[in-house]
Amino acid sequence: MSEQATPVFQIQRVYLKDLSLEQPNSPAILLQQEQPNVDIQLGVEATPVAEGLFEVAVTATVHTKIDDKTLFLVEAKQAGIFEIRNIPEDQMGGVIGVACPQIIYPYLRGNVADVVTRAGFPPVHLAEINFQAMYEQQNAAAQADGTVQ
């Protein structure tokens, strides 16, 4: 049997890194009966923390408006620290860009729904995300720009 290092992929910690809620036009806007427009933006970022340790964060911005006035704005960043060792280099992008966000995202969804509910609104349920497709899309865009990692 050859001396080959065993691949390691472990969650060290999952935590809420940042959360903010703004209702700049309350209470007046709460009296309006119109349906608000909801804009949701998501992002994924990864940062090496130490040898074999990475912080991966998924960010959501939920901006809800009636006409041009903000009803509420939620910005949340859910993060995790992952131990990732002895994974082939060509597979690291998929582990960090797909596997890690899939683990973190349900926590983010719950925290966003909770803060919106606590603010007095019906919960905003973030849709399920196909992180594999998102990762492939980002790679295709990076190749088109010539900025492949």
Domain ranges of the chain: 12-143
Measured between alpha carbons, how far is residue 14 from residues 10, 95, 113 in Å?
11, 16, 18
Query: Burial, 28: exposed, middle or buried (Cβ in 10 Å; 0-12, 13-18, 19+)?
Result: exposed
What does the block give as tokens for 1?
A: 């049997």
Answer yes or no: is pLDDT of 149 > 90: no
* SS3 of residue 58 by DSSP: strand
- Name the residue type at position 98: V
DSSP string, 43-89: EEEEEEEETTEEEEEEEEEEEEEETTEEEEEEEEEEEEEEEEES--H
Residue 141 phi/psi, 5° resolution?
-65, -40
What would the pLDDT profile of 130-144 be if each residue is shown by its tens digit? 999 988 888 888 788
The model's pTM: 0.86
Rounded Cα gap, residues 23 and 18, in angstroms: 17
What would the pLDDT profile of 79-118 be if each residue is shown by its tens digit? 999 999 999 998 999 999 999 999 999 999 999 999 999 9
Which CATH class name applies to 12-143? alpha beta
Compute how many other C-beta atoms are within 10 angstroms of the C-beta atom of residue 104: 22
